[in-house]
Amino acid sequence: MRRIAAALAVLLLGAASHAAETQPRETIVTSDVDRFFTLHDDPALAADPDQLAARYLADASPGLQEFMVLRRITPEKLATALRSKPQLFVDARGCAAKLGNVRARLVEATDRLAALYPAAKFPPITIAIGRGTTAGTANAKGLYIGLEALCAAKFIEADDEDRFVHVIAHEYVHAQQPLAQVEDREESVLRAALVEGAAEFVAEKMSGSVGYPLLHLWAKGREKELETSFLAEKDGKAIGSRWLYNQQGQDGWPGDLGYWVGYRVAKSYYDRAPDKAAAIRAIIEMRDPATFLAESGWTPGMTL
């Protein structure tokens, strides 16, 4: 009997261990989206901020609560968005139907991150409804995705499912980066571009594509011209520059082109590194952008 009991204990322990191994490392929370769309057809939601507060925001997940703080989502601002941009939220309902496939692909992507970077942290991913201004942000506590904003951001990537997977992979890298943990409104073009470019490079390794592929298409054939200009402007302030945080850009110049330059610097660093695992760690854990740039071997217009 003891032998049978011991054998059974081993089997149960093995089964428990296997179950633990097959559990996703991260939690992907979409309950806020589900709850919002059960309420969305009621016109009182847009008309009365108190209704929004009581019926949607009062039951917010921990991730949505953090998102509200980070991006100033209040009942009044959300009600205003529902009234002024109603089609944004209507379109988001169809996009939300694709979250099942997005979830499965994100699990695969974070599994690849674990293999690439064993020190990775796996904070929860919250996909919620915001006020139409932020597609995604991250800190060490988690990732926060505004479904309605990311659904509308077809200028980033045309396919909804691909866009969600690749942008969320990009944001997940930010959760690992020391430099991404504090927002600095005075940061330089170089610092911002390398933080974003590092996230783009590692996201490509995780999900099969960068988060912002249209930048690569636009810049093809113009590498030397663009990167020479970047080098001349790298010490300027990122906010207000033509390289970052400029939405969709203007006058034919795309928004966030610094992501593309930063990606190329990170790729140059990785390509020339003999130890690829150490290179991934250095790219993610970068603390001194100027030193990283000098060590990358990158030069404007180089072939990568």
Q: Residue 179 and residue 96: Cα distance in Å, rounded?
A: 31
Residues 132 and 110 in one domain: yes
State the total domains in the chain.
Answer: 2
Is 259 part of a structural domain of the chain?
yes
* Last residue in a domain, options 176, 198, 227: 176
Q: Residue 216 and residue 264: Cα distance in Å, rounded?
A: 10
Is 21 part of a structural domain of the chain?
no
Residues 153 and 231 in one domain: no
Residues 172 and 193 in one domain: no
Residues 168 and 218 in one domain: no
Residues 172 and 197 in one domain: no
Residues 32 and 132 in one domain: yes
Q: What is the pTM of this model?
A: 0.86
Q: Residue 124 and residue 270: Cα distance in Å, rounded?
A: 28
* Last residue in a domain, options 176, 198, 229: 176
Residues 100 and 222 in one domain: no
Q: What is the pLDDT of residue 24?
A: 65
Residues 64 and 125 in one domain: yes
Q: Where do runs of H (alpha helix) occur along the chain? A: 2-22, 31-39, 44-47, 49-52, 62-70, 75-84, 86-96, 99-116, 147-152, 160-174, 189-207, 213-219, 223-233, 257-272, 276-284, 289-296
Is 288 part of a structural domain of the chain?
yes
Residues spanned by the domain of 208: 189-296
Residues 34 and 156 in one domain: yes
User: For residue 166, how many C-alpha atoms fall within 13 Å in the half-sphere facing its CB?
Assistant: 21
* Last residue in a domain, options 155, 176, 197: 176
Q: Residue 275 and residue 70: Cα distance in Å, rounded?
A: 37
Cβ 168 vs Cβ 123: under 8 Å: no
**Could you list the pLDDT tens digit for every one of the 304 residues in the chain?**
333 333 333 333 343 333 344 456 779 999 999 999 999 999 999 999 999 999 999 999 999 999 999 999 999 999 999 999 999 999 999 999 999 999 999 999 999 999 999 999 999 999 999 999 989 888 888 999 999 999 999 988 999 999 999 999 999 999 999 999 988 999 999 999 999 999 999 999 999 999 999 999 999 999 999 999 999 999 999 999 999 999 889 989 999 999 999 999 999 999 999 999 999 999 999 999 999 999 999 999 999 9
Residues 265 and 194 in one domain: yes
Residues 148 and 234 in one domain: no
